[in-house]
Amino acid sequence: MKHEILTLFRESGLDAYADKFEPLIRPSYRIFTQKVPDEHALPSGASKIGGMPDLPAGESWPYWRSYPLSFIAQINLAELPPLADPILPKQGLLLFFYAASAMYGVKGFYDTHQTAKVLYVPDTAGIELIRTAPPEELEDCDPEAVFSPASVSFLTEWTIPPGESADIAGLGMSWSTNREDYDLYWDVFGRRFDEKFQHPDDMKNRLLGCPDPMQGDMQVHCVRLLEGADRKSEEDLLARASQWRLLFQVDSEDDKTGMMWEDVGRLYFWIEQDALERLDFSRVVCDVQGG
């Protein structure tokens, strides 16, 4: 499959970039949801979006400042199908949280990465998991930040970087410096790629791979948030930004989970490549883009 994508890339008039582009073709897990009337029907530790997390005994609910974080999803790694170039272990639990109740009007919200948290539980077999209701203060201050449960299924799917990304800019195909090849990449190759290799469902929940942005680049934002805006050069900034990878994205599915990210947008969790390889989720950055 990867070879077919690279062939399509060459046939789109981009052969000069093929060798450097090949590593940017990344496998992912596409995630499909189904509304769950009764969350008790879901086994403890099962993958889901929304609902209540299955926290290890003794684990406290995460906060940012005085704001309880909203539970977004949990992924049981043992439920994932085989993936080309696997980077996650074959067992464990990933739990995603975000300070959804503080998104609007809270000073400093967009100046820190601590509004998001990813909890990694390496082995669920030998510990007690407790299905934990959110703090009452979260429901009291913003009931829309408490989400309904949806069960999930997975499909492996290849992805390519969006046109407006540090990955593509680093190849010399950015919109601002090389409009001709940018147009070939996004309008010719990108359109053909979507038609041939992407599931047609408009809802794009995804684990790993490349993002499906609603607006522009997010990799540079990750660098600037954690390291500041002062970089020695644009080349240096792009090199650092290209080390950031999509960890997880969740779509607005108001009818299933009650999630609405800005104007029918998406929520994105980002992680540095070396941190992902170490399974270190302490510096995850979260971004929201609207439609």
CA distance 84 to 82: 7
183 burial level (CB within 10 Å; 0-12, 13-18, 19+): middle
Residue 141: predicted pLDDT: 84
The yes-or-no verdict on residue 92 having pLDDT over 90 is: yes
Sign of CA dihedral 104, 106, 108, 109: negative
Q: How many distinct structural domains can be found in the chain?
A: 1
Q: Where residue 121 falls among pLDDT bands split at 50, 70, 90?
A: very high
Q: What confidence score (pLDDT) does residue 176 get?
A: 84
Going by pLDDT thresholds of 50, 70 and 90, the confidence category of residue 143 is: very high
User: What's the predicted TM-score (pTM) here?
Assistant: 0.96
Q: What CATH number corresponds to the domain at position 32? A: 2.30.320.10
Q: Are 92 and 124 in contact (CB under 8 A)?
A: yes
- The predicted-structure confidence for 133-142, as pLDDT tens digits, reads as follows 999 999 888 9
pLDDT at residue 231 in the model: 60
Mean pLDDT of 179-193: 96
According to DSSP, the β-strands at 54-56 and 205-207 are unpaired
Q: What is the mean pLDDT of residues 42-60?
A: 98
Per-residue pLDDT at 229 exceeds 90: no
pLDDT of residue 126: 84
Which of 105-109's residues contact partners 24+ apart within 8 Å by CB, and which partners?
Answer: 106/67
The pLDDT assigned to 233 comes to 82
pLDDT band at 175 (very low <50, low <70, confident <90, very high): confident
Domain of residue 176: give its range: 2-289
Token pair, residue 183, equals 């147009």
Q: What is the pLDDT of residue 232?
A: 62
Residue 84: pLDDT over 90: no
